[in-house]
Amino acid sequence: MASMTIRNIDESLKARLRIQAAKNGRSMEDEARDILRTALASGSSRGSSLLKAIRSRIEPLGGVDLEIAPRERIRNPPKFEE
């Protein structure tokens, strides 16, 4: 099993975790482990790609028409012979 240390947690968040753990009869560590397990199990079953998630948030805001620069002629490759 791997170990993990989480630093810089707000005191209010830590207090909420402690209270929730006590309500469930668990240690704070067990409660945090259960929260992570639940969050990651439900996140993987969404089936939506990151692209679709971003597009669903941005698309209602409208689009922007960008001017595409004309392509230039392909340069000749460098010659390395003497």
Q: What is the pLDDT of residue 81?
A: 83
Domain edges within the chain: 11-59
CA distance 72 to 47: 41
* Digit-coded pLDDT (tens) for 24-59: 999 999 999 999 999 888 655 556 788 888 888 888
Confidence (pTM)? 0.51
Residue 31: other Cβ atoms inside 10 A: 19
Cα Rg of the chain, angstroms: 26
- Which amino acid, residue 64? V
